[in-house]
Amino acid sequence: GNSVTQMEGPVTLSEEAFLTINCTYTATGYPSLFWYVQYPGEGLQLLLKATKADDKGSNKGFEATYRKETTSFHLEKGSVQVSDSAVYFCALTLTNAGGTSYGKLTFGQGTILTVHP
């Protein structure tokens, strides 16, 4: 079946440190890959996505590259801020060969990030 594995947290960093949160997946077919972020007391928000191999998703200084050869989609940010403290979820959805999504999301277990001043 399809699955997503994230590095275990929690991750604690100082402000301006470099962030990497590892994510690997197993999937049949043509997955699209996502990173969602959940700030305290709020719902999940889409952070970035990539729909095919070698695509790079980016948003708010975060980046992730779809690596088919290593089945990975690691999240990176060069300089984190206190406001980045949140829970980060890696996820995938399957699409058909034409790129149309089947809709269902499979999530990783989430990684708690805490950034200290």
Partner 1 sequence: GAVVSQHPSWVICKSGTSVKIECRSLDFQATTMFWYRQFPKQSLMLMATSNEGSKATYEQGVEKDKFLINHASLTLSTLTVTSAHPEDSSFYICSAQTLASQETQYFGPGTRLLVL
Output the smallest distance, CB 19 to partner 1, in A. Answer: 20
Q: How far apart are CA 20 and CA 14, in angstroms?
A: 13
List binders of partner 1 among 21-60 (CB under 8 A). 32, 36, 41-46, 49, 51
CB atoms within 10 A of CB 12: 12
List binders of partner 1 among 55-94 (CB under 8 A). 89, 93
Q: Is 19 strand, coil or helix?
A: strand
Overall size of the chain counted in residues: 117
Residue environment code for 63-77, b if the CB has 16+ CB neighbours within 10 A, otherwise e: bbbbeeeeebbbbeb
Owner of token pair 């095919």: 52
Count the site residues for partner 1 by CB under 8 A.
24
Output the smallest distance, CB 84 to partner 1, in A. Answer: 19
**111 counts as binding partner 1 under rule CB under 8 A:** no
**109 counts as binding partner 1 under rule CB under 8 A:** yes
Instruction: Please report, as ranges, the residues that interact with partner 1 according to CB under 8 A.
Output: 4, 32, 36, 41-46, 49, 51, 89, 93, 95, 100-101, 103-110
